[in-house]
Amino acid sequence: MKDIILDNYFWQDEVVRLRAMQPEDWEEHYNNRFDTPARRLLDYVVELPPTLAEAKSFAEEYANFSKNNERIMFTIETLNGESLGGINLCGIDERNGTFGIGIQVNWDHRGKGYGTRAMRILLRYAYFERRLNKFNVSVLEGNVASAAMMKKLGCVHEGVRRQIIYSNGRYHDEILLGMTKEEFEQMEG
């Protein structure tokens, strides 16, 4: 096979690349399920103990964009192929032009800007290729890192749903943020 030139490849920037989730990614999914604090912040729940069968089934189910009508799953990796985590485009409402994004960066790669870079790539796709207009996201109170990343990306604080999430023995607020295509264009300037 001829060498592929990636200099102008849409799905990457100078540091990270998004690629299709593959069946072999099951092990990373399995390992991330043991990061209870991150999973609690991501899905607002403590999941049942992970199983190899669930991890393999999940990776197989979403591999190669096979369920892209539900969630479009990507693996985030460095340009030299080191896996950094996962990101997905979800909650797509074509009629109203709204969508969400789910992301989990592996614990040993957090705080290095990889998630923000991956988010920008996926936001460009949603806004400029899918004609979507509004990104909606929520973060659990206390999820300082995700809230900071969303603000860095240009998301606007839209409200708080008070005491709506029960986790770890108490009720938590859900912080609502959002960003329109126009606001993204201004941030990307």
* Alpha-carbon gap, residue 60 to 171, rounded angstroms: 35
Distance, first Cα to last Cα, the chain: 38
Task: Report pLDDT digits (tens) over 69-100.
Answer: 778 999 999 999 999 999 999 999 999 999 99
Answer yes or no: pTM beyond 0.75: yes
Residue 68 pLDDT grade (very low, low, confident, very high; cuts 50, 70, 90): low
Q: Is 82 exposed, middle or buried (0-12, 13-18, 19+ CB in 10 A)?
A: exposed
